[in-house]
Amino acid sequence: MPEIVKFVNSGAASITPAIAEKALRQLPQWKLEFTQIHAPLFPHLVDQLEFLADAVEDAAEGAYKELPYYAIAQAVFALIYSHKKVGVIPDSVLNLGYADDSSVVRAVLIQNEKAFATYAESQGANWQKITSQP
């Protein structure tokens, strides 16, 4: 997991306000795309992506102001990475196509577990359902 953490942290460091704003405008479409993910080996991935998208939207709109900026930047990076169909492992690879997406998302959730758990509680979301498991 350390390599994926370095990858996420490096990617998040490149997230500028302009990139975050562009991603924010695309989130409604991405959320629809994420619901179409069929990845039985990663049953929490869709819920995790939706959770991160909601957190980014709420933070950007000022509805929730307690998320640290690095958590938001990491979430934006994970959403952008998951939206792209070609990653370290292309999504089209049978059974393993979403392994990299899941690893990136889990790295974000694990690194920011306390902040995201607090956000989940404030939204009435079940953190155990969102979980940091694949």
Q: 15: which 2 tokens?
A: 């997230």
Q: Tell me the pLDDT tens digit for each residue of 34-59.
A: 998 888 888 899 999 999 999 999 99
Per-residue confidence (pLDDT) for residue 89, from 0 to 100: 60
Return the DSSP state at 67: S
**Residue entry with tokens 């930047």:** 73
Alpha-carbon span 37 to 14, nearest angstrom:
26
Average pLDDT of the chain?
88
pTM of this structure:
0.90
CB neighbour list of residue 94: distance below 8 Å, 6 or more residues apart: none
Alpha-carbon span 10 to 7, nearest angstrom:
5
